[in-house]
Amino acid sequence: MRRPRLSWHTMTAILLASFGCLAADIPRAEYPRPDFVRSPWLSLNGAWDFQFDDRNAGLTERWYAEKKSFDRTIQVPYAFQSRLSGIGDTSFHDVVWYRRSVRIPEEWKSKRIRLNFGAVDYRCQVWVNGESQGHHEGGQTPFSFDITPSLAARGWTSHDHVIVVRAEDPSTDLDIPRGKQFWEPKSRGIWYTRSTGIWQPVWLEAVPDPYLQKIVVRSNIEESSVSIQGG
């Protein structure tokens, strides 16, 4: 029996519907850095375990060591103040924690693995499998860590690996850059509700060794030329 041929419009509709289902499962499912695309990548957007730390006790109690049960779930990359996060709490919580597990694809085993954050407001510390990866300060800039050693120590692709993030955003500290984020409980005038913690995409990518971290483009008007330098 001859199979009916699908029209171009029908095929397009099927593809769009399929992509829509994927995008619905993963918030902001598009590749987050279009100017430096790498094909082996894995979005970490979506559901993470989440915990307010109003006592600022997490570091002392070693919440990064995987033993602490977090009592909420949040949809990354939305700040907990947003209803899209699944929480929608606009009250003051200066310290928050995130946790999620991930399994590394088998085909990445010979690569270096980068953990990337689009932005975390304001100070951020990151652990993988209980090992510190470093910290970052600044709520509007991207940053990343090479987490390969911490993955290899646990067994690489044979286990789920645990990523923990602590974010601290001093709500009433007027000395840190804050744009129009308000330091009072209720928004008014030109001031809007604070955005604390992860508020841009998080993703993993596999890179060769060595690999490019950035490129610098310099133009020479007199010679009508452009030079590109990698680093």
In this predicted structure, what is the pLDDT of residue 188? 67
- Nearest one of 84, 76, 93 to 165, comparing CA atoms: 76
Q: Is 224 helix (H, G, I), strand (E, B) or coil?
A: coil
Please state the pTM of the whole predicted model. Answer: 0.82
In this predicted structure, what is the pLDDT of residue 4? 47
143 Rama sector, left if φ>0, alpha if ψ -120 to 50, beta otherwise = beta
In this predicted structure, what is the pLDDT of residue 197? 95
Under 8 Å between Cβ of 182 and 193:
yes
In this predicted structure, what is the pLDDT of residue 215? 82
Is residue 231 over pLDDT 80?
no
CATH of 10-230, one of 2.40.30.10, 2.60.120.260, 3.90.550.10, 3.40.470.10: 2.60.120.260
> What's the average model confidence in pLDDT over 177-201?
77
Is residue 17 over pLDDT 70?
no
> Which of residues 109 and 203 earns the better pLDDT score?
203
Q: What is the pLDDT of residues 44-60, one digit of tens each?
A: 999 999 999 999 999 99
Distance separating alpha carbons of residues 224 and 200, to the nearest angstrom? 37
In this predicted structure, what is the pLDDT of residue 15? 39
**Joined tokens for residue 146:** 């090479």
In this predicted structure, what is the pLDDT of residue 184? 66
> What's the average model confidence in pLDDT over 4-30?
53
Question: Where does the pLDDT of residue 12 fall: very low under 50, low under 70, confident under 90, or very high at 90 and above?
Answer: very low
Is residue 219 over pLDDT 50?
yes
Query: Domains of the chain: which residue ranges?
Result: 10-230
Under 8 Å between Cβ of 108 and 40:
yes
DSSP state of 191: B
Under 8 Å between Cβ of 74 and 109:
no
